[in-house]
Structure 1
């Protein structure tokens, strides 16, 4: 007998509810900015984490010239990947309930938390050319979504995002010259051309820019601390280098997908058998393997009777899968 599933996660305080017009706007334009979604405390936690990373990078620069605290930054990395796997605050940021409230409404009800990136972008640094996120992180079905959390004021001067509204309806343009990079069925399109140098900041080099040019002029997305931009994984988007001399552009960017998707990606360059066992189940439920939060961050999963005789598979640290039965009160 089939199992009944009412897609409702366990209740939690301060839940953010998404409006129907917001849902429609996201799926029409490919992005949705929710102002003031994160509290000052939540922003402060992530901002402090960004500062720890910035100062840690600086402390490793033994030959940083001069007394200017920015001098050593310009030759340093501008982003840190997957802090959520090694830091409790980063995990809490990726699993922020109010961010997941919106994700649950836009692509849920079942949600995997996949990836985190801390961007620092000091003066004169940063920037990424036109790209589509599913070009890099593949899910099948293709349900990827990004959440871009501003940790301070972000504008055109210090490198805010630019988007091409409506470009989320485009397919993912595959990379040229090698296999394994396709999101869509191979040979299913008559005119889906490959692209080169995606994310390169020079539009003359990044051939995806030729597709972007078919759209009306892109728009910038200024943000304030605590605002969150949710964007579709097919959306053409980019940023420019920080043009200021005295401001950073700190942001925390996470990616999620529907937990019913098969995910060959696990951040470590792995594409092949399922990488689902590395992904945290953040909302709802799934028939796929999954991971639990490594630092015990509370997540609000399917709130219902899950007492049928069907079995779930949970990923272990060694990559093996173990059958488990989840009870409502576990």
Structure 2
């Protein structure tokens, strides 16, 4: 793969050049992603890093699959035992507030619409040597009826090629195709299946290097991956939240008996903007915080 150098404080300039007149929605529609530089202040980033330590130490509640804390271990040692924690917003008021952060939600209304809900959060730690994820599309895992799924990938450290930043295939969202996927045994990646048989090559891939506090927004159909953290020492921490239009049901679980698929609606959600047309259904608390499997932890599913 050809590594394209992106200048410090990049805003994803390795994609097709954008004119000054290009708005966020236009760039997002064209490329499938956009970078929002400096969304969080250094103090907000530091607070989220500290909260990551508390979560990894078990101070915010139970994380399914986590190893018990070790007496006397340092904060870094405690965090290094994790690759990723799913649903940290259910453990931490700070993580929940960040999911609703106006500086993130505001731009989301430009690319999704006025009514937005979130259904998932993931706190990636990815210390040195830990794996990345193979090519995949988020919409394959979280299927929305209106193709509105959008990730907000918030960097808690400078994300670089060396420490395992995201790579994207610009424009790969536009066909609206969910490509086939398969198991893999590539040690560079965690246990997530890989997408394949898509009409793009490795030479089309662009690394998205961003600074701590910046956010990468990307479409649920965009093909993306990450490589291992090959840095000598250090983390590539990121908080990733998934959002979609609140006007669309979310068929993320099988429908109830005799319920049409079109009415299947996962209601373990957080409304972050506007109104929820399905509020009459109420909300549920289904998913629980858990660790993400990496290859060293086994790939049972």
TM-score by length of 1: 0.67
Q: Which residue pairs with 2:9 in the alignment?
A: none
Superposed displacement of residue 161, structure 1: 0.4
1:104 aligns with 2:109: yes
Of 226, 231, 239, the residue aligned with 2:218 is 231
Choose which of 261, 278, 291 in structure 1 pairs with 2:268.
Answer: 278
Gaps of 5+ in 1: 1-18, 175-193, 290-312, 320-330
Q: 1:127 aligns with which of 116, 124, 132?
A: 132
1:22-33 superposed matches below 5 A: 22-33=24-35
Matched, 1:84 2:89: yes
Paired position in structure 1 for 2:54: 52
Query: 1:173 and 2:188 equivalent?
Result: no
Q: CA deviation at 1:254?
A: 0.2
TM-fit CA distance, 1:114: 1.4
- The 8 Å contact of residues 128 and 199 in structure 1, kept in 2 or not, is answered as no
Compare relative contact order (CA 8 Å, sep 6+) and give the higher one, 1 or 2: 2
So what's the TM-score if we normalise by structure 2? 0.74
Bigger CA radius of gyration: 1
SS at 2:28 equivalent:
helix
SS across alignment from 1:117: strand
Distance 1:155 1:207, change over 3 A: closer
Give distance in 2, aligned partners of 1:199 and 1:38: 37
Divergent runs of 4+, >4 A: 55-59, 61-64, 67-74, 198-203, 316-319
Structure 2: how far apart are the matches of 1:198 and 1:170? Answer: 25
Separation of aligned partners in 2, 1:118 and 1:318 = 19
Write the distance in 2 (CA, Å) between the matches of 1:275 and 1:103: 21
Q: Which residue of 2 aligns with 1:115?
A: 120
Q: 1:98 to 1:207 in 2, by over 3 A?
A: closer
Distance in structure 2 (CA, Å) of the matches to 1:124 and 1:215: 22
Quick one: structure 1 residues 199 and 254, their matched pair in 2 at CA, closer, same or farther if it must change by over 3 Å?
farther
How large is the Cα RMSD of the aligned pairs?
A: 3.0
With over 3 angstroms needed to count, the CA separation of the structure-2 counterparts of 1:201 and 1:217, relative to structure 1, is farther
Counterpart of 1:39? 41
Number of residue pairs matched?
A: 251
